[in-house]
Amino acid sequence: MQLPAMRLPSVRLPALPVIPRGLLPLDMFTHERTRDEAARARRLEGLYHVGQEKIWDGRQILKELQTKHGPITLGEGPRRSLAKVFSIIMWGELAAWKVSAQLAERIDPLEAKMAATSQAHDEARHFYVMHDYLDLLALEPPPLDFWSRVVVELAIGTENLAQKIAGMQLQVETIALTIFHKVRELHVEPVLSDLLVYYEKDEARHVGLGVQFLPELLRRMTRFEYARYVTFQLELLLASIAGLKHLEPDLRTLGIDARELIDLGARKQLSFLNDLAQQTGKNPTQPWAGRIFDTAVEAFFPSRDDAKSWNVRGALARARGTFDVLTGRTDGIAAPYRRAALENVERLNAQRRLAAERLSIAL
């Protein structure tokens, strides 16, 4: 008897998953490093470990400071000005949190990735603690003004790593540090003054990521890429000046002179510029960009007393002062610091040439 043909039921096997390539930087340990690169990597790794050791509980610290100083007793005017200035700081901390998270994802070298990850954790704490402090002022934090939004959105939106790092780590962080310094110096509000000590320590560490990681990115740039990098920084600086002008009445209410704030920021930048110069051996500033920045500062925040009044005589004095800075007849606000950075570069290069000559003679 012939058995009927049997057909096995068809079974559709599940498709094997397609493994995307390049999502994990599996070659992060295969790159050879020079001695300088290895030293920078160790310093970047150190930023992560120090960040872990220095973590502070934002809720607990704010509670302790409230107990220490009691309720906030500022008058209505200073309270509103403080809320306006530090709401910008709060939104800036959110932007820094977002940028540092982007960097932690996109940077491949392990040590720099660790430093960016540590910073993201710090910025999250800075954001929620500043939000909680502003709640104590019993005022709704106002939204970001147009120019402050331009600054943070430029830093968040750029795809260029060097622009992102320089924009946030070396410029936005410096602006924040400068405001923290002045508010603490003037003791505007005791709870905030003591709170900012914790912020300053963290922010000073964050600048280290830019100083240590940026030189390698700068060395790889073509002339066109470097020109675009400088132009991007200038865009950020000019938008920052416009934002500072918008804040000037509130800064004045708190006893802060806007031009003095810019000068302090330029002085703080000098140490970072010297660090970059030491790493790269190149002048970290561009004369044409510096001249434009100084001219804008002079136009918005004139150095001459007779240019500060809003009348015809004041307008003419402001125009003369701005023209003098533009043409180089007088120094702009940051010119002495740029000269100091250039002199430092020349001194470092002379020392390196001398060391190379001595080595060649010894050989």
Tens digit of pLDDT for each residue in 79-101?
A: 999 999 999 999 999 999 999 99
d(CA 153, CA 151): 6
Structure tokens that stand for 363 in this block: 């050989």
pLDDT at residue 209, rounded to an integer: 85
CA atoms within 13 Å, Cβ hemisphere of 159 = 0
Question: Region 198-205: what's the mean pLDDT?
Answer: 89
Cα(171)–Cα(154) distance, rounded to whole angstroms?
Answer: 12
Query: What's the gap between Cα 358 and its chain centre?
Result: 40
- Compute CA distances 214 → 100, 167, 168, 245, whole Å: 14, 11, 12, 30
Domain annotation for the chain: domains and CATH numbers: 38-284+333-362 (1.10.620.20)
Residues 182/226, Cβ–Cβ less than 8 Å: no
> Which pLDDT value is given to residue 177?
87
Q: Please, what's the b/e burial string for 3-25 (b: 16 or more CB within 10 A of its CB; e: otherwise)?
A: eeeeeeeeeeeeeeeeeeeeeee
Residue 307: band (very low, low, confident or very high) from pLDDT cuts 50, 70, 90: confident
In this prediction, residue 26 carries a pLDDT of 64
pLDDT band at 157 (very low <50, low <70, confident <90, very high): very high
Average confidence (pLDDT) over 140-168: 90
CB 142 within 8 A of CB 87: yes
Q: Which of 88-97, 201-210, 228-237, 351-360 has the lowest average pLDDT? A: 351-360
CB 355 within 8 A of CB 284: no
Using the structure block, give the residue that is written with the tokens 């992560």.
48
Percentage, residues of the chain above pLDDT 90: 46
pLDDT (tens digit per residue) in 313-331: 989 999 999 999 999 999 9
Q: In the chain, how long is the greatest CA-to-CA distance?
A: 120
Q: Does 258 have pLDDT greater than 90?
A: yes
pLDDT beyond 80 at 108: yes
Residues in the chain: 363
**Pick from 247, 221, 230, 346: which is nearest to 291 by CA?**
230
pLDDT tens for 12-64 read: 545 555 555 566 666 666 666 677 777 778 888 888 898 889 899 999 999 99
HEC string for the chain:
CCCCCCCCCCCCCCCCCCCCCCCCCCCCCCCCCCHHHHHHHHHHHHHHHHHHHCCCCHHHHHHHHHHHHCCCCCCHHHHHHHHHHHHHHHHHHHHHHHHHHHHHHHCCCHHHHHHHHHHHHHHHHHHHHHHHHHHHCCCCCCCCCHHHHHHHHHHHHCCCHHHHHHHHHHHHHHHHHHHHHHHHHHCCCHHHHHHHHHHHHHHHHHHHHHHHHHHHHHHCCCHHHHHHHHHHHHHHHHHHHHHHHHHHHHHHHCCCCHHHHHHHHHHHHHHHHHHHHHHHCCCCCCHHHHHHHHHHHHHHCCCCHHHCCCCHHHHHHHHHHHHHHHHCCCCCCCHHHHHHHHHHHHHHHHHHHHHHHHHHHHC
Q: Are 259 and 303 in contact (CB under 8 A)?
A: yes
pLDDT at 9: 55
> Sign of dihedral through CA atoms 30, 35, 37, 41?
positive
Task: For residue 64, give every residue at least 6 positions away whose Cβ sits within 8 Å of its Cβ, in sequence order, or none.
Answer: none
Q: Which two tokens stand for residue 309?
A: 């009044």
